[in-house]
Amino acid sequence: MKKILLITTLLISTLAASAQKNSSQSYIDKFKDDAIRIMHQTGIPASIVLGVAMHESANGNSTIAQNLNNQFGVKGGGGVVFIKHHKKVHSSYKKYNSVFDSFQDFARIMTERKQFSHLADALTHYDYTGWAHGIQRSGYASSRKWAAQVLGIINKYDLHDLDEKPEEQQAKPADAPQLAETKQ
């Protein structure tokens, strides 16, 4: 009986861990193009946009992400009301029409608010580490571990690969065979 219970517990734990990974990967697949678009518009690394969104919204599974399309925990909703478990919930979080609108507002906050706007002037879209630490130092989150947690997500899922220009990603494999052919 103990063996069956132990095996069942291990199986459930494995399935739960695998479901979390799939949830993260499906979130990345669904929103990476939006994050890249934001990067090209604003200079904020796509890895930062996606990594912060994944961290703050639990891969889109948090209550405010599900009900308000708010991926970043942005406040200022003016008393938004939504229904959860058949009860009205009053929220001080901002509601967005889409996840992309939430991404755009995060980029606006990072580039227009004095508290964060210096980061866009000082950092490139390749310096995701500098962005994470700069956002934390500028007061985005009160946790001292926030930047490390966001960087952990970025590194775990190789989100920094999104920060490369698409033509650079395509040029590398295509150039290698051409060079080999010209040498022969």
Q: pLDDT for 76-118, tens place per residue? A: 866 666 667 677 777 788 999 999 999 999 999 999 999 999 9
What pLDDT score does 76 carry?
A: 85
Question: How many domains does the chain fold into?
Answer: 1
**40 or 14, greater pLDDT:** 40
Q: Is residue 76 part of a domain?
A: no
Per-residue pLDDT tens over the stretch 146-165: 999 999 999 999 999 999 76
What pLDDT score does 10 carry?
A: 53
User: In sequence order, what are the residues at sequence separation of 6 or more whose Cβ sits closer than 8 angstroms to the Cβ of residue 78?
Assistant: none
What pLDDT score does 62 carry?
A: 93
Q: Is residue 31 part of a domain?
A: yes
| Rounded average pLDDT over 153-181 | 66
**1 or 133, greater pLDDT:** 133
Q: Is residue 6 part of a domain?
A: no
**76 or 171, greater pLDDT:** 76
* % the chain with pLDDT above 90: 62
What pLDDT score does 4 carry?
A: 65
Which CATH number covers residue 54? 1.10.530.10
Q: Is residue 18 part of a domain?
A: no
Q: Is residue 30 part of a domain?
A: yes
Q: How confident is the model at residue 171 (pLDDT cuts 50, 70, 90)?
A: very low
- Mean pLDDT computed over every residue of the chain: 82
Domain assignment of residue 57, given as a range: 24-66+97-164
Distance of CA 18 to the CA centre of its chain: 19
Q: In terms of C-beta distances under 8 Å and separation of at least 24 residues, what long-range contacts does 24-31 make, across chains too?
A: 24/54, 24/59, 24/153, 24/157, 25/157, 26/59, 27/53, 27/54, 27/59, 27/60, 28/54, 28/157, 28/159, 31/99, 31/103
